[in-house]
Amino acid sequence: MSISNKKKSLVLKIALFATGFSGIVAEYVLSTLASYFIGNAILQFTLIVSIMLFSMGLGSRISKTFNANIVFYFVIAELLLSLLVSFSAIASYIVYGYSNNSWIIIYVLSIAIGLLIGLEIPFATRINDSYEELRLNISNILEKDYYGSLLGGLFFAFIGLPYLGLTYTPFVLGLVNLIVSFWLFYTLKEHISKKLQRILWISYIGVFSIVLLGLCYAKPLVLFGEQAKYKDKIVFSEQTKYQKIVITKWSDWHSLYINGNQQLSTFDEYLYHEPMVHTALGITDSKKDILVLGGGDGCIARELLQYETINTITLVDLDSRMIDIGKSHPIFASINKNSLNNTKVTTINADAFTFLEKSTKTYDVILVDLPDPNNVDLNKLYTKEFYTICYNHLSDEGTFITQSGSPYYATKAFYCIDKTLKKSGFHTLPIHNQILTLGEWGWILAKKTPIHKEDLQAINLENLQLKWLNKEVLPGITSFGKPLIDTTGIKINTIFEPTLYIYYKQGNWDLY
């Protein structure tokens, strides 16, 4: 039975729609992976999208060298695109596990996928030339590709990343593209010689089998690649809408990683949380209403709940899954003593900056326990603008404290935070402690009134259940030697001039 030209044209447009759908999501998948593995999300998204668009242009240029068997080559391009899209995340994870040059595979995949998409659009236009006049042909082909891109973006944002994760999203895309391309092949097979048809039949059987096998073994393959990167056994791994959360185990201890960066170890987390919480609370007379920004693991809330005078603890974390882990994961519910389920604690899933902009409440203590400012997104939570908002939400006698990275591994970043807080109107006091699994780490204490080292020495630690902190070490955590580098020319950090994350990237992290 002969297939009408109208139906052939329709199937061709659906194939371009699927190409646009899978192509744009492949861009987002690779951009997200690059931001996780390499850091600096804005830079990686910019580079990946730019490289892929350039490669599409290059593919379009290469397409003019094909003079015959256009339908065959179009289908071959679809097959290759389905394979590359399907295995993009797995390939990236495996390379990431065994090499520090994971960016190479990500950029190579971006180029290859862009080239294939760039080939397909001219191929489809030339094939459709037999079914529609030029005026309709060009607009209809491009229209379907762009519509597919819109749907792909919505799919990635609202379904793919939050529900399927980076493990399964590429395979869904690959299968969609593969099924549509097979429909296209079956519809247009009369334009392909019998010999080439046989090659394509075998190719489809092979690609379908490979993609289905990859889908079945996707999770263990990704875990295999991830495990190679971590020295300890992975016991939990989940891709959330915002970040990659990994928990590893060694002996009786567990470590929490976000996007590959260690956040804490149950072996020594108290060396981090005790100085942060009890110095801030110790120099604050009235401590009724407390705000914690970050801290989804629940350890800060655990320390705060030792103070009977506290009425409310509001904990704001962007990632609801991190709070769920802090509340219900047996490891964290145990180490945080079920603190996030305490009636005094209210957990809110929101961006810290946006939350404070909308809030009208003031707090006696504000504790900022956020990941290091290693990208522009996190950088805004260490800016003059953000600290000014915090200043306005702090009571007149209240205390603010923020984790500030390492004064030795990232000296410029540490002193940039201190300088930025001062520019926001705060009086500051830097403190630090040696954390066995993280190295030398620091915080900046800040108040609206002058703050001195003697204030810490007067802190009363009686009636607190502490594993490490005592009166003897309080003078020591305020004592610093000379900065390892010249800090006189360090700039403050603002939203419009984000200098902090650059300082952070320039740190001596190789020593860590």
The answer to whether 399 touches 280, Cβ cutoff 8 Å, is yes
Task: Give me the active site residues, please.
Answer: 369
Q: Which residue has the tokens 């403190």?
A: 431
- Spell out the residues 6+ positions from residue 68 whose beta carbon is closer than 8 angstroms to its own: none
The burial of 198, by beta-carbon neighbours within 10 Å (0-12 exposed, 13-18 middle, 19 or more buried), is given as exposed
Q: How far apart (Å, rounded) are the C-alpha atoms in residues 290 and 405?
A: 22
**236-259 core/surface letters (b: 16 or more CB in 10 A; e: else):** ebebbebbbbbbbeeeebbbbbbb
The burial of 116, by beta-carbon neighbours within 10 Å (0-12 exposed, 13-18 middle, 19 or more buried), is given as buried
CA-based angle 115:119:125, to the nearest 5?
Answer: 150
Q: How many CA atoms lie within 13 A of 353 on its CB side?
A: 12
CA-based angle 159:165:167, to the nearest 5?
Answer: 135
Structure tokens at 110: 């971006």
Q: How far apart (Å, rounded) are the C-alpha atoms in residues 280 and 293?
A: 14
Compute CA distances 488 → 385, 411, 423, 498, whole Å: 22, 12, 15, 18
Compute the radius of gyration of the chain from its Cα atoms: 28
CA-based angle 186:192:193, to the nearest 5?
Answer: 125
Structure tokens at 135: 């005026």
- Spell out the residues 6+ positions from residue 263 whose beta carbon is closer than 8 angstroms to its own: 256, 257, 297, 371
Q: Amino acid identity, residue 199?
A: I
H, E, C per residue of 266-308: CCCCHHHHHHHHHHHHHCCCCCCEEEEEECCCCHHHHHHCCCC
Phi, psi of 307 (to 5 degrees): -95, 110
